[in-house]
Amino acid sequence: MFAPTPDKLRYEGKAKQIYATDDPALIVMHYKDDATAFNGVKKAQIADKGVINCRLSTYFMEMMAKAGIPSAFIEQIGPRDQLCHVVEIIPVEVVVRNVVAGSLAKRLGVPEGGRLARPLVEHFYKSDALNDPQINEDGAILMGYAAGWELAAMREYSLRVNDALRTFWDGLGVDLVDFKLEFGRQNGRVVLADEISPDGSRLWERATGRKLDKDVFRRDLGDLSETYRELYQRVFGESLGG
């Protein structure tokens, strides 16, 4: 079985590490327990977050594969490790919104919670140094961040991911407010990359409005580890480790 060793570490991000494998076309994505917010200004260790996000992201990437959406994900090979194709990350993050929240509410000076008549697709230039500024598709093309056909594929896949995820969370009594996706280039095609997890989503319990995502940490609303355990229980019908 794969064991992440320091000599194989190729990249360390805020929530994950990337390890090389014996095959240059494959990497291992290792999920850490680190949580960060506000571009790394706020940091904490959240017990078992890596295990929970790895399992949830595996579940969702497998769901997307069944829906015909290609991704870099191949298989989960350990409690916090996924085997993935090497991709060239496209430096444009896609956010899909069903309900007004977060930076959209702030930018437009409107309250959170308003339901949008149809999903809103937004783009952000992936740059820690610039704090991920918003960009539109024309800007991304003209700056050379992505080709027009790539952005078209990203939009189509993002809306299909939204449909599948929204239906799924709906069935569990949870509203999918918004989420962020990343994409990569692999063999000349666009594939989903990174993760699909509550770290990059907003999930509100329908009956109570309670937040079941990383906003619990960002906004000091409670114990994120407990919240993620509860989500795990809802999705898999059993408690973590149980």
- Point out which residues bind ligand UDP (CB under 6 A): 95, 101-104, 132, 178-180, 200-202, 214
Q: How far is the CB of 6 from ligand UDP (least distance, A)?
A: 27
Cα–Cα distance list, 189 to 35, 72, 142, 170 (Å): 31, 11, 20, 31
CB nearer to ligand UDP: give 85 or 214.
214
**Residue type for 222, please?**
G
CB nearer to ligand UDP: give 7 or 220.
220
Q: How far is the CB of 104 from ligand UDP (least distance, A)?
A: 6
Q: How far is the CB of 189 from ligand UDP (least distance, A)?
A: 24
CB nearer to ligand UDP: give 21 or 103.
103
Q: How far is the CB of 20 from ligand UDP (least distance, A)?
A: 25
**Residue type for 99, please?**
V
List helix spans (H) across the chain.
49-66, 102-108, 137-142, 148-171, 215-218, 224-236
Which residues are 190's β-sheet partners? 185
DSSP string, 216-228: HHHTT-S-HHHHH
- Comparing every residue's Cβ against ligand UDP, the nearest one is 102
Q: How far is the CB of 152 from ligand UDP (least distance, A)?
A: 21
CB nearer to ligand UDP: give 185 or 218.
218
CB nearer to ligand UDP: give 80 or 202.
202
For residue 142, the tally of other CB atoms under 10 A from its CB is 10
216 close to 222: Cβ distance less than 8 angstroms: yes
Query: What dihedral angle (degrees, nearest 10) is formed by the CA atoms of 233, 73, 175, 227?
Result: 40
CB nearer to ligand UDP: give 35 or 83.
35
Q: How far is the CB of 164 from ligand UDP (least distance, A)?
A: 16
Which residues, 6+ apart, have CB-to-CB distance to 239 below 8 Å? 229, 232, 233
